Amino acid sequence: MGGEAVTLVQPVYEVDGWAANTIDADGVEWWVTKEDGWSGGPGVRLELSDRPQRDGSFDAPSFRSARVITLEGTAIAPDEWVRERAKDRLAALLADGSGLTPLVVAERTVRRTALVRLSSAIKIVDTTPVSFDWSVQVTAPDPLRYGDPHDATCGLPRPARGMAFPVRFPLVFGQGEGGVLALVNSGTATVRPVWTITGPCDQPVIRNDSTGERMAFSLSLAEGDVLTVDSAARTVFLGEASRRAALLPRSKWFGLPPGSTTIGFEALDNTATGKLTAHWRDAWI
């Protein structure tokens, strides 16, 4: 809808080619006057059961609801004809309801994304010959707001090289290399990474050294084989073939909580050249 927009104020809300708090390529100013559901947290879903013939309820875990985001504002066009075209473009926003669309919000200090779909009729009310008020409501089934993607890679651990001769003081001992990732989630919510293990390696293990949790796999990867482990979907694929049965008992689908997490990578033979790559996004509730 339009072309490259000029920012009026932040945050800028962009979805399906339309951007609010901007001036679009036709010169229409899209001002947001009210936002609900993005800055605050999503709703909470309680599943408590009343105690029969007693006060109170039986306790149960609570869960976050889908995130419902409502934007209201005013559009000001250069003339009446441009106003009518702007109304038509807005009315067609997110017309394809078959899938989710990224809502990107550029704030002063961070750029965050949620996957949304239109969840209510778009409202348009004329106010002057060149302006109208508008309202757009979308829903994100996943209530988390995600930052830009990150990737980090390490190989299998290498033994220390030992002490160099001739000996000189102070003594300097070699240190092991590889086998460790320091991953940082700068958000406020636990995020579930996608791991890829590239062969060759035998019986690879991904460890969460911060908690002691681990994921171990009873399989051998040849040169060029890629094992993809999606912690959120709880799937394990070798190429296009499912290998979830290779996940050993007592393995945990651990995530990355806010802050730093130390990840270890090992295999039956650490002299192999296999690599572990972590793919994740910072996440905010």
As averages over each run of 10 residues, the pLDDT of the chain (285 residues) reads 78 97 97 97 90 92 94 98 98 95 96 97 97 98 96 85 51 53 96 96 95 96 96 95 95 96 93 93 96
| pLDDT at residue 164, rounded to an integer | 52
* 6-143 and 149-284: identical CATH topology: no
Give this prediction's pTM. 0.84
| pLDDT at residue 171, rounded to an integer | 38
CATH of domain 6-143: 2.40.30.200
Domain ranges of the chain: 6-143, 149-284
| pLDDT at residue 270, rounded to an integer | 80
CATH of 149-284, one of 3.30.1330.20, 2.170.190.11, 2.60.120.860, 3.40.920.10: 2.60.120.860
| pLDDT at residue 235, rounded to an integer | 97
Q: Hunting for tokens 């949790």 — which residue is that? A: 213
| pLDDT at residue 172, rounded to an integer | 39
